[in-house]
Amino acid sequence: MSGGVFLVLFLYSPAHSQLIDLCTFKGVQIPYNLSYQDTIIEKGTYDLEALKNPTTPSCYLRFKKGKQVVCLIEGERLNFDPTDPSIPDKPTLKFKRNAEEKKLLITVETGKAHRRFPNIKLRFTLECEE
């Protein structure tokens, strides 16, 4: 019987830690077709969720269409001065397109007023297709 309990607990435990939600941006218009690894993200409207791993510095951006997850993108955490006056109060999402390299850079800042995770800045890079 104990072997069965172990098997159930082993199958129930996730392969890696649950991701923590940093901030969500609803109804974001993506004006380009994007690709990340083997996934194509067609231009359109998505909900974007910035996530972090609770035990490592890893961060992610989840693209959702309705309740369906389209893609999970790994990004990088950027260092910046927490006393910088340009840090927004509320979470912000910024896009910067590099046409020469055919890349779209997405920057997420949690802002000063975030209750659990203030002053976090993340960057995600995707291939931008015309």
Cα(50)–Cα(73) distance, integer angstroms: 10
H or E segment to which residue 34 belongs? strand 33-36
Which pLDDT does position 12 carry in this prediction?
39
What is the torsional sign of CA 130, 27, 36, 109? positive
Cα(32)–Cα(30) distance, integer angstroms: 6
Which pLDDT does position 57 carry in this prediction?
86
Give the domain ranges of the chain. 17-129
pLDDT tens-place values along the chain, 130 residues long: 444 433 333 433 344 458 999 999 999 999 999 999 999 999 999 999 999 998 888 999 999 999 999 999 999 998 777 788 888 889 999 999 998 999 999 999 988 877 788 888 999 999 998 6
Cα(128)–Cα(99) distance, integer angstroms: 8
Cα(75)–Cα(59) distance, integer angstroms: 6
Which pLDDT does position 25 carry in this prediction?
96
